[in-house]
Amino acid sequence: MERFAELLIASILLAGLYATMAYGLGLIYGVLRIVNLNHGGMIMAGAYAGWWLHEELGIDPYLALLPVALAAFLVGVLTYGLLVRRLPRGAAGGVQSLLLLFGVWLVVRNAAYLMFTGNDQTVRTSYSTLAVPLAGALVSVNRLAVFAAALATLVILHLLLRKTYLGKAIRAVAQNPESCTLVGISVERIYMLTFGLGTALAAVAGLLGATLFPFNPSFGAGELLKSFVVVVLGGLGSIAGTAIAALILALVEVFAILVIPAYLTAAVGFVLLVLVLVLRPGGLFGQRVLG
């Protein structure tokens, strides 16, 4: 029973991270209809950024969240402005943008390798090993902090999308880009900002993940797939949908330990992805647009 509570809490905490991570991918897909294959690369970049700031400058990872997010936002804006913008929109651009962003991922990966070598790294702070009792189980402070940070990020995101003009413009473009130009929304600007936002979310998730798991430059493929599972499961609709889907994935992954050997749990996500894509391409909540 204690084990059950422990696993359940672990799932919930993990789901926070997954939701943040997935939303970055989903935002870009929902608005631009592009699958950002550099998503994994930016998660990895966020992890390294946080690690480097901590190792070299002693900055606590949670303090580094804002600067890393801003930097990643800029990277995303540049990626869109310099590269993605040149591709044709719509179905014709589908595989092309996939390959383009894949190329960017390779470059990012190589850059990380050159700068930091291929060894595993983690971010270890003074409080990394602390744990507190919660509902009869011992929960690491780290995981709680990550969850809190993820939750905060999602709340900010929700407010941004619902309450601000920018947010409404983003949702409008997601639904109907052509009409947006008629009401004075610069669709290209929104695309650029959304790409930046999605990239920033990926980096934030990466930074948070760096405090929990070891990572190296090849990190990212698994996270990309998990993000995709969450997006497809939860649909492109509300943050709530994403959160529920993230929870489902986390639950399946964590509880799978009870039935299959530990080394295969990573495969669970992949298998789930293929199953979900093939059986319910419309997502569990249907393919709604943002909002």
The residue from 3, 4, 70, 110 that contacts another protein (CB under 8 A) is 110
User: Which range of residues in 48-56, 101-109, 172-180, 188-196 is near another protein by CB under 8 A?
Assistant: 101-109
The mark string for 33-52 relative to another protein (x by CB under 8 A, - otherwise) is --x-----------------
Residue closer to another protein by CB (options 159, 267) is: 267
Q: Which residues face 132 on adjacent strands? A: 139
User: Which range of residues in 7-15, 46-54, 91-99, 238-246 is near another protein by CB under 8 A?
Assistant: 91-99
Note whether 99 binds another protein by CB under 8 A: yes
Note whether 270 binds another protein by CB under 8 A: yes
Taking the CA atoms of residue 211, residue 213, residue 215 and residue 220 in that order, the dihedral angle to the nearest 10 degrees is -100
Note whether 118 binds another protein by CB under 8 A: yes
Note whether 109 binds another protein by CB under 8 A: yes
Residue closer to another protein by CB (options 32, 137) is: 32
The residue from 63, 74, 103, 115 that contacts another protein (CB under 8 A) is 103
Helix (H) or strand (E) holding 16: helix 2-32
CB of 116 to another protein, least distance (A): 12
CB 12 within 8 A of CB 244: no
Note whether 53 binds another protein by CB under 8 A: no
User: Which range of residues in 113-121, 124-132, 146-154, 165-173 is near another protein by CB under 8 A?
Assistant: 113-121
Summarize as ranges the residues that interact with another protein (CB under 8 A).
35, 83, 86-87, 91, 94-100, 102-107, 109-111, 113-114, 118, 218, 221-222, 224-225, 228, 261, 263-264, 266-267, 269-271, 273-274, 277-278, 281
